[in-house]
């Protein structure tokens, strides 16, 4: 059976992105190793992943003006990522205390509590609680 292994997220710099995902969102740092671009330049292969998840996020450092402009705009202002948590109230409070930028107050939806926040680059995420029927 196939599964989605990675998605790429363009970031301006590796270390602040690692801190955001590991320290604030409590993701695991799965890999952080030296690698090379297709033309032989050094880079880092950095993967973070929500705990107990299969799919990882490859943090790709922006190179050049077009990629720098894309950092934070990968979905052109729409929510691009959806982070499901078991304890919505605790996760929301922890992120608020860490000064994560939420765009609105939480609201109840049939699929669970939801609040939109921005990551360190400006991409929009939905913080999702358990579905209402669970």
Give tens-digit pLDDT for 58-87: 999 999 999 999 999 999 999 999 999 999
User: Rounded to whole angstroms, how far apart are CA atoms 99 and 6?
Assistant: 27
How many structural domains comprise the chain? 2
Domain span including residue 19 = 1-71
DSSP 40: S
Instruction: For residues 39-53, give the mean pLDDT.
Output: 94
Taking the CB of residue 39, how many other CB atoms lie within 10 A of it? Answer: 5
DSSP string, 82-127: EEE-S-HHHHHHHHHHTT--BSS--EEETTEEEEEEE-TTS-EEEE
Mean pLDDT for all residues in the chain: 94
CA 115 remoteness from chain centre: 14
Residue 96 and residue 65 share a domain: no
Residue 101 and residue 63 share a domain: no
Q: CATH number of the domain that 36 lies in?
A: 3.10.180.10
Residue 125 and residue 63 share a domain: no
Residue 115 and residue 64 share a domain: no
């Amino acid at each position: 059976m196939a599964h989605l292994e990675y998605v790429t997220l363009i970031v301006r710099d590796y270390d602040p992105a690692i801190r955001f995902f590991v320290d604030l969102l409590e993701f695991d740092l799965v890999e952080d190793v030296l690698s090379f671009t297709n033309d032989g330049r050094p880079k880092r292969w950095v993967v973070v992943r929500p705990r107990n998840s299969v799919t990882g996020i490859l943090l790709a450092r922006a190179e050049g003006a077009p990629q720098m402009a894309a950092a934070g705009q990968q979905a052109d202002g729409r929510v691009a990522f959806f982070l499901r948590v078991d304890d919505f109230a605790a996760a929301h409070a922890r992120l608020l205390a860490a000064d994560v930028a939420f765009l609105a107050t939480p609201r109840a939806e049939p699929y669970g509590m939801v609040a939109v926040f921005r990551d360190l680059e400006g991409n929009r995420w939905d913080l999702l609680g358990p579905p209402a029927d669970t």
